[in-house]
Amino acid sequence: MKTAVIYDDVYLKHDLPSHPENALRLKYFMEPVYELGIPILKPKQVSYELLTAVHEESYVQDVIISCRERAPGFFDPDTYYNSFTCDSALMAAGANEFGVELLLEGKYEAVFCAVRPPGHHAERNRAMGFCIFNNVAISALKALSMGVEKVFIVDFDAHHGNGTQHAFYDEERVFYFSTHQYPFYPGTGSVSENNSHVLNVPMAEGSSDREFLEVYSTLFKRAVEDFSPEIILVSAGYDLHEDDPLTDLKVSDRGVEGIVTEIVDSALSLGVPLLFTLEGGYNLNALRRCSSITFKLLIHS
């Protein structure tokens, strides 16, 4: 697949070295991108209109003013900010907007938004779980605004993407598929929340490659084929890895390879573009290996 990465050093400026979601993560993640020679494009800042369609304007203004006047601080007990956080978050959302433009204009077949802060916990009116703006929701809404009628989001982060599910709970043009450790943070993601276009697949603590590959080769594959989207968006959270310090899943490098292979194969068989956005992943070496696995699959498929 013709693949590009969207990245900017601004994503390193949102940082708190003692926190698991720190800038080193993205440095490790980017190493294979440079080694493999994948084209790197600069993001644009997200359009205010799109951002305020996903988030309440009063919340967006609170983020901007907090970073400008009250930094450093915390939006919630997990989610820090410094004076650069707003720039990073606006450019992370902007990468997700720009990535969809590139894909729908046919310039690339796959785009990976290598961004921080992550996004899938961010709710309409609040930051949560290391996330400020909901990057993948920005991508989905951008695709709809460009005339796409069906968007499929697959979220393999170890945590449930509560913000993403809530953003599109009543939007039948967006399918949300998530595997996540359950019960676990943030507490949402049970099967009782499923509807015609939300499919949560809770995974027990200790779930391994076998359980995940069973889900991705059956439930995921069937859901994406039945929905027949025009674009597939991926909340790529590599904290499902067995080496991750924050979670209790047992997915190996091979398991990650298997999951990403199923996603890539689905996009190829439907002939639709693929946008990844980085969510979690807190073991630096595992994150670097997962990056390498993902990009090798993309460029060789």
The catalytic residue positions are 121
Nearer to Zn ion, 109 or 157 (CB): 157
Q: How far apart are the first and last CA of the chain?
A: 6
Contact indicator for 205, 181 with CB cutoff of 8 Å = yes
Minimal distance, residue 237 CB to Zn ion, in Å: 4
For Zn ion, which stretch binds (CB under 5 A), given 138-146, 211-219, 224-232, 277-285?
277-285
Nearer to Zn ion, 157 or 211 (CB): 157
Minimal distance, residue 226 CB to Zn ion, in Å: 27
262 interacts with Zn ion by CB under 5 A: no
For Zn ion, which stretch binds (CB under 5 A), given 56-64, 99-107, 260-268, 272-280?
272-280
Q: Say which residues have a Cβ less than 8 Å from residue 244's Cβ, sequence separation at least 6.
A: 158, 238, 280, 281, 282, 283, 286
Total number of residues that touch Zn ion (CB under 5 A): 6
SS3 state of residue 9 = helix
User: Contacts with Zn ion in 211-240 (CB under 5 A)?
Assistant: 237, 239
Distances (CA, A) of 235 to 9, 112, 156: 21, 10, 6
Minimal distance, residue 61 CB to Zn ion, in Å: 27
Nearer to Zn ion, 46 or 158 (CB): 158
Nearer to Zn ion, 195 or 285 (CB): 285
Minimal distance, residue 131 CB to Zn ion, in Å: 9
Nearer to Zn ion, 57 or 76 (CB): 76
Q: Which H or E element spans position 48?
A: helix 48-54
Nearer to Zn ion, 117 or 280 (CB): 280
SS3 state of residue 141 = helix
Alpha carbons 276 and 301: distance in angstroms, whole number: 15
Dihedral sign (CA 67, 22, 49, 157): negative
Q: Say which residues have a Cβ less than 8 Å from residue 159's Cβ, sequence separation at least 6.
A: 120, 121, 129, 180, 181, 184, 185, 186, 237, 239, 247, 280
Minimal distance, residue 279 CB to Zn ion, in Å: 6
3-state helix/strand/coil string of 192-224: HHCECCEEEEEECCCCEHHHHHHHHHHHHHHHH
280 interacts with Zn ion by CB under 5 A: yes
Alpha carbons 186 and 126: distance in angstroms, whole number: 14
Cis upstream peptide for 43 (omega within 30°) = no
Minimal distance, residue 118 CB to Zn ion, in Å: 7
121 interacts with Zn ion by CB under 5 A: no
User: Contacts with Zn ion in 130-159 (CB under 5 A)?
Assistant: 157-159
User: Contacts with Zn ion in 90-109 (CB under 5 A)?
Assistant: none
Q: Which of 30, 25, 24, 27 is nearest to 5 (CA)?
A: 30
Nearer to Zn ion, 157 or 262 (CB): 157
When CB distances to Zn ion are compared, the closest residue is: 280
Minimal distance, residue 129 CB to Zn ion, in Å: 7
Site string for Zn ion, 154-193 (x = CB under 5 A): ---xxx----------------------------------
For Zn ion, which stretch binds (CB under 5 A), given 85-93, 215-223, 258-266, 274-282?
274-282
Contact indicator for 134, 164 with CB cutoff of 8 Å = yes
Q: Which residues bind Zn ion (CB under 5 A)?
A: 157-159, 237, 239, 280
